[in-house]
């Protein structure tokens, strides 16, 4: 087996489908770098919110945000409890997961110039392969030649319940109804935007994990990884 040849693994799917947990667990197990592309869109959104570039009804001042792109530096650091997202050197891991950021992020992620800038950063992270990246357009746009592509889905109700539980466990305010509304709204914006909309790449393997435990989905994914490695010529 070609176990030593690093590959690129793209995991896309709907909001709160569990793709980040799967991607993280796989990366840890096989010693790959993990990049959460959604965290990058969330960090840009937080920057826009802090600088009054988003109205209360989620209208983004695109011109101002695009002009600010040179002032936005995003990075990741590995901490004891996992990877944290840095915005201009500040650890914003907790803040970017809050529902107010979730309620604006898809509106920021439709802006083509923002997408182009973040896609270029994401591609730079992956130049040496040995990477697992999760998001919405990783298999279609960021790494169209990835050796392994997965597309994850589960029902909106299941996904909202998972995210609601996660927010409560982190001590963040949340109601199931608000999270469900956010999940459904983001799915719609992500699927219908013009620039690299959320869709399954033709060569991605579909996983519906509605009725799977975390252990089952991790085992499923590691199996797909071994198959992809075995298929390398
Ligand atoms: O974790 P969750 O599934 O809630 O979302 P996320 O992965 O943190 O991504 C947040 C939002 O960023 C998504 O709803 C998309 O609007 C946007 N996004 C994107 O457009 N393209 C990506 N590659 C990743 C995220």
| Residue in 34, 103, 136, 150 to alter for ligand 1 test, most ligand atoms within 8 A of Cβ | 136
Q: Predicted confidence band at 233 (pLDDT cuts at 50, 70, 90)?
A: low
What CATH number does the domain containing 207 carry? 3.40.50.300
Distance CA 72, CA 88 (A): 6
Domain assignment present for residue 197? The answer is yes
Residues with CB under 6 A from ligand 1: 15-16, 20, 37-38, 41-42, 105-106, 109, 135-138, 186, 190
Q: Measuring CA to CA, how many Å separate 129 from each of 13, 38, 123, 125, 126?
A: 21, 19, 10, 8, 5
Compute the distance from residue 7 Cα to the ligand 1 centre, in Å.
Answer: 23
| Residue in 18, 42, 109 to alter for ligand 1 test, most ligand atoms within 8 A of Cβ | 109
For 37-65, how does the pLDDT look when each residue is reduced to its tens digit (9 = 90+)?
999 999 999 999 999 999 999 999 999 99
- The helix (run of H) or strand (run of E) holding residue 116 is helix 112-125
For 174-215, how does the pLDDT look when each residue is reduced to its tens digit (9 = 90+)?
999 999 999 999 999 999 999 999 999 999 999 999 999 999
Compute the distance from residue 42 Cα to the ligand 1 centre, in Å.
Answer: 8
Domain assignment present for residue 2? The answer is no
Domain assignment present for residue 1? The answer is no
Domain count, the chain: 1
Domain assignment present for residue 69? The answer is yes
Domain assignment present for residue 82? The answer is yes
Q: Find the domain containing 140 and state its range.
A: 8-228
* Residue with CA at minimum distance from ligand 1 atom 7: 38
pTM: 0.93
Domain assignment present for residue 3? The answer is no
Distance of CA 231 to the CA centre of its chain: 27
């Amino acid at each position: 087996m070609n176990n030593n040849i690093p590959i690129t693994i793209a995991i896309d799917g709907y909001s709160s489908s569990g793709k980040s947990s799967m991607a993280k667990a796989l990366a840890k197990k096989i010693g790959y770098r993990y990049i959460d592309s959604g965290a990058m869109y969330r960090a840009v959104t937080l920057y826009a919110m802090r600088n009054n570039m988003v109205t209360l009804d989620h209208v983004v001042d695109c011109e101002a945000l695009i002009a600010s792109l040179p002032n936005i530096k995003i990075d990741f650091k590995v901490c004891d409890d996992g990877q944290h997202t840095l915005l201009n050197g500040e650890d914003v891991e907790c803040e970017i997961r809050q529902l107010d950021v979730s309620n604006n992020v898809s509106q920021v992620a439709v802006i083509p110039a923002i997408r182009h800038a973040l896609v270029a950063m994401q591609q730079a992270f992956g130049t040496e392969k040995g990477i697992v990246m999760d998001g919405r357009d990783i298999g279609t746009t960021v790494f169209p030649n990835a050796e392994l592509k997965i597309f994850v889905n589960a029902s909106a109700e299941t996904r909202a319940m998972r995210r609601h539980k996660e927010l409560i466990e982190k001590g963040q305010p949340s109601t199931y109804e608000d999270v469900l509304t956010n999940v459904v709204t983001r799915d719609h914006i992500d699927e219908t935007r013009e620039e690299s909309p959320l869709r399954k790449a033709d060569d991605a393997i579909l996983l519906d994990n509605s009725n799977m435990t975390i252990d089952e989905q991790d085992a499923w994914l590691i199996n797909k990884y071994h198959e992809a490695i075995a298929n390398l010529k």
